[in-house]
Structure 1
Amino acid sequence: MSDSATEPRARPHRIDLNADLAEGYGRWGFGTDDDLLDVVTSANIACGFHAGDPTVMRRAVSRAVANGVRIGAHVGYPDLAGFGRRPMTIAREELADLVAYQLAALSGIARAEGGEVRYAKPHGALYNTAVHDTEQAEAIVDAVCRIDASLGVMSLPGSVLLESAAARGLSTITEAFADRAYLADGRLAPRSMDGAVIHDPQAVADRVVQVVTRGVVDTLDGGPTAVRPASICVHGDSPGAVSLARRVRSALSAAGVELTSSVDEPVGSTR
């Protein structure tokens, strides 16, 4: 009979919960930032190109600092009209300058509010393009290295962006999406596909628990596929975003998962 007191214990499941915030602009806004910052452990703050303005950014940063929420720069294409969801062809040097500008702006605001930016995450079309496009991925990495090489880079597992970041010595953060469907190859299902966005809160919560505790997710075009993220994203601009985020957090807590931004390994590790 083994002595259980001397046997190594499995590490409990831990996950970061992030949301896209500060996506208002001028008189327009979702009005959910404060409530979401009471739920999430990391905040992707829009930097003024796809959404956000200096006041919206400052308010979100100030609340994040007060709540002990990790701050990330949510960088995007210069596309306010399209909410950053329209693909753009931009040369590597110019795109690096655009991303560096956004990183520097948010970093300055964060320092003024007593906080700091800890990672960069592309938004929308830039996010999706940097998953497979080496030139645009390298442009993002160029900007991070230029502004602050201590920043992490957040993206999908297996993306070109994370491979490029790791090759340049940057830390990487893998993520999965709470309300987005996946394809069998691990990519997000295009929003044009039926079922690409999941709207039922309980279904979303159940999927997140499955991902975090089992490391797999059901797909639209096949059976389960491995998804082992360090962070889960809940979209701040989705209808019912706050109630959805609360449902996800409650389900994770009920499953014995610790919510923390200090996740240094993908879920499923037992070390």
Structure 2
Amino acid sequence: MSNQNQLQTIQFNNQSLVTFEQNGTHYTAMKPICENIGLEWGSQYNRINRDEVLKSVIVMITTTGTDGKSYQMICLPIQYLNGWLFGIDTNRVKPEIRETLIKYKKECYQALHDYWFKGKAEREIDTITPEEQRMIQNAVTATHQRTGMSYGEIWSRVKNKFGVAKYEQIKRSDHHSAMIYIASMPIVNQPLLINGRNLEETLSVMVELYGYCLHAYEMQEKLSQHPDLADRIDSEIGGQYLHNLKHPLENAMTKAKRFIRNNSEKLTIIKAVDHLLN
């Protein structure tokens, strides 16, 4: 294959991957991938050529670099990249990615088992669900109405904050943080002043602190389910932190909820964070 290739970026295993589209098929250059994970390209090229399946789909693509020169790259169709990764010796990659690759290979083994014994293989989604996407959309709408900030600016801030190209790629573990971040965006031009104080700023801080309290409370609950671990923490650190966290946190969260709700009639912030307060 040759020229007329347009660079595109697609998501592969939650990573951005540069590809080339030709005749409806996306290809990716193999040498940069090998170099990024610490593999010697020559050895991997020989391994690909020894594989009856991979060598039948490998192609040479010519593209133009930023320097104006033409370069030829050995490429595989994106749908064959999983198979190539599955066969990599984990002892040959960079130490910092070894654990991730081992986890990935375990998923592959499980997927093969499920396909043959259950008739299908399903992968657990670690990005926000459609319902969580809807909640974020509602939060953005409420923030737009509350602050007057454009939708484009809000979405741009969210994507930059969580390092994603699309908001749908936000991790489920970051969903609460994303909701708090959106709800805490301040009014840029004319903050609402009540009794000489910026209520908008106060509520933003209160919501953010509520989120931290919630995480601490959930951690206390989880640790309390493991008495041996809890006793060890108390014995080595002292202060009976787990015991002393529970009731003060509950009281602080109750007061924070009451304050936010009492002032929510003045601001529409409650629409974006009500699910966090229930």
Q: Which has the higher contact order (CA 8 A, sep 6+)?
A: 1
Select the structure that is richer in helix: 2
- TM-score class normalised by the smaller sequence: under 0.3
Q: Which has the larger radius of gyration?
A: 2
TM-score of the superposition, structure 1-length normalised?
A: 0.23
